[in-house]
Amino acid sequence: MRNTGKNRDSFGLKRLGNAVLDLLYPRRCPVCGDIIMPKGGECCDRCRGAFAYVTEPYCLKCGKPLREETEALCPDCLRKERFFDFGRAVYRYDDRIGRSIYGFKYNGRQEYARFYAQEIVRRYGRMLSELKPDALVPIPLHKKRLRKRGYNQAALIAQEVSRLTGIPAEPSLLQRVRNTRPQKSLNERERENNLKKAFKIRQNDVSLETVILIDDIFTTGSTMDSAAGCLRDQGVKGVYFIVLSITSV
């Protein structure tokens, strides 16, 4: 019982600390990048709903927006076996969300995670409660890149989703074992080779039945597939993902 009181105190201190931090470093809007108006929210009132949501039709497997209503799967999911069961994305990737994610990843705008997580839960809260996952697993960065950036953007999102839903986040379950070259500089074949065996599991006895992988951007899906394959090898039965944004076909 003594612990409860102690935890409450430190929680109160943390909240006070956050309030002071908010005064010193006002939160910025993930959409326009300005200081949030009115204060206290996760984005400006006028900026709400500014990013383009994924709408139907989308690939039933990876969630990628499709051109034709008649198709069920995108060309990538038609062509190759996927190791994940299925996944969904919140936004259609475009310049706007691209700029926001850039600030989040490279300009220290870590506070955007709270907004992104709210959007994920608003959109896929039902999916989360129906799948009953044991853990949210962010796609890890290689430790060299993590050291350089100071934080893993996917882990920040997963932590915030965890806070909102109560599903545990497991940011250190997967490990990126090879410092893969930036995917955007490679063609598709090179991407696949680059990512083969790019992940490993940190612990031997994984007793997770169902896992949701979390990441910020899904392009070809080869990173996601590689991570999903690694989890499946360890006996995880259900592997799903939720990403913040996804490119179109």
Binding site for Zn ion (CB under 5 A): 29, 31-32, 44, 47, 59, 61-62, 64, 74, 77
Helices (H), the chain: 2-24, 75-79, 95-106, 112-131, 143-149, 153-165, 188-195, 222-233
CB 80, min distance to Zn ion, A: 10
CB 123, min distance to Zn ion, A: 18
Query: Taking phi first (over 0 means left), then psi (-120 to 50 degrees means alpha), and beta for anything else, what does residue 6 get?
Result: alpha
> Could you give the 3-state DSSP secondary structure of residue 231?
helix
Q: Find tokens 């690939």 and name the residue.
A: 59
> Are 228 and 239 spatial neighbours (Cβ–Cβ below 8 Å)?
yes
CB 57, min distance to Zn ion, A: 11
Nearer to Zn ion, 64 or 176 (CB): 64
Nearer to Zn ion, 44 or 167 (CB): 44
Nearer to Zn ion, 175 or 247 (CB): 247
Structure tokens belonging to residue 185: 């500089």
CB 81, min distance to Zn ion, A: 12
Distance separating alpha carbons of residues 198 and 76, to the nearest angstrom: 20
Nearer to Zn ion, 29 or 158 (CB): 29
